[in-house]
């Protein structure tokens, strides 16, 4: 019996699409990494030398790669490839998801390209705009949501973007956890898995990763994870880590928006774990949240 006989036609189609997205993301990453210095999509650590320890400029191309691949997928398969029923009758209109993804991506991209990044208020405005766009497509049991659920959706969207953004604090941390959530939910996992090696592996003779997601990538992934069935469970660990770090900053009297090295990934690094092992440990820690989303009643 052929091994393909054990796979349904739907699952086989998903595997083919995931493979195509993997190849597309690999090629797009290689191209954009080469063009990143000319495009101004690099992080040279000059804006936060105490927090950022890399010595060479790192291309911030992950967000652009994911946006390009997502756009191509939508053009080929239609807007229905995003969104869907989450849990308990909650669903998002695919068009609203795409608009929210675009606004989240643009907000992150401007932050990536600005010399000192966006200020916390400007970033919050962009994140809120993405949340409002998403909330307008919120549906409860097939009906447009009322004002209060929409306001809650805006809050969740802002929280998801910030949780994803702050969890992108170590090589491969967010990309690995996002891939763990997406792999059970959507072929788009092929794109995130393709970028993960660039986020983890170093160039020969260098201690600097080959590429990062950038804020454009983390913001985009925050919206995608929030609106993808099952994959939203991958946000539980980043949200918990963000809540813990905010509490620590408040006790220390530090601004909650100021980046530092108090995150879970940094604690694992301090124990001597390398980037690949840190990413693996974070995935293992995130799996209970993904399982919770997978088997949530309804």
Q: For residue 255, what pLDDT is reported? A: 87
Contacts of residue 245, Cβ cutoff 8 Å, sequence gap at least 6:
166, 260, 262, 263
Low-confidence ranges of the chain (pLDDT < 70): 1-7, 45-55, 202-209, 297-298
What is the domain range of residue 28?
A: 3-294
Q: For residue 166, what pLDDT is reported? A: 92
297: left (phi over 0), alpha (psi -120 to 50) or beta: beta
89: left (phi over 0), alpha (psi -120 to 50) or beta: left
Beta strands in 126-172 (DSSP E): 138-140, 143-144
- Residue recorded with tokens 């809120």: 128
- DSSP summary character for residue 231: G
Looking at the structure of the chain, the number of domains it has is: 1
Q: For residue 4, what pLDDT is reported? A: 47
- Cβ pair 178, 221 in contact under 8 A: yes
Q: For residue 50, what pLDDT is reported? A: 47
CB pairs under 8 A, 24+ apart, for 275-279? 275/170, 275/171, 275/172, 275/200, 275/209, 276/172, 276/200, 278/170, 278/171, 278/172, 278/173, 279/170, 279/171, 279/172, 279/173, 279/175, 279/176, 279/196, 279/200
């Amino acid at each position: 019996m052929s091994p393909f006989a054990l796979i349904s036609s739907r699952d086989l189609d998903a595997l083919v699409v995931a493979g195509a997205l993997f190849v597309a993301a690999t090629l797009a990453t290689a191209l954009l990494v080469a063009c990143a210095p000319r495009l101004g999509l690099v992080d040279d650590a000059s804006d936060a030398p105490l927090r950022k320890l890399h010595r060479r400029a790192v291309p911030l191309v992950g967000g652009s790669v994911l946006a390009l691949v997502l756009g191509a997928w939508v053009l080929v398969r239609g807007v229905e490839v995003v969104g869907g029923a989450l849990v308990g009758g909650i669903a998002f209109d695919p068009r609203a998801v795409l608009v929210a993804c675009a606004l989240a991506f643009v907000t992150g991209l401007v932050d990536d390209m600005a010399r000192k990044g966006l200020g916390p208020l400007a970033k919050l405005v962009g994140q809120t705009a993405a949340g409002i766009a998403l909330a307008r497509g919120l549906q409860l049991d097939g009906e447009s949501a009322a004002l209060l659920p929409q306001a809650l959706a805006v809050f969740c969207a802002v929280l998801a973007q910030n949780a994803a953004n702050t969890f992108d604090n170590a090589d491969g941390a967010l990309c690995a956890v996002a891939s763990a959530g997406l792999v059970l939910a959507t072929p788009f996992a092929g794109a995130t898995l393709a970028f993960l090696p660039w986020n983890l592996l170093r160039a020969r003779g260098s201690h600097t990763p080959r590429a990062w997601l950038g804020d454009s990538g983390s913001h985009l992934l925050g919206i995608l994870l929030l609106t993808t069935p099952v994959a939203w469970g991958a946000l539980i660990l980043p949200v918990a880590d963000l809540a813990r770090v905010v509490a620590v900053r408040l006790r220390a009297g530090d601004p909650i928006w100021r980046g530092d090295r108090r995150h879970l990934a940094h604690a694992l690094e301090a124990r001597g774990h390398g980037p690949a092992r840190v990413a693996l440990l974070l995935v293992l820690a995130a799996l209970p949240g993904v399982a919770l989303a997978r088997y949530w009643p309804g």
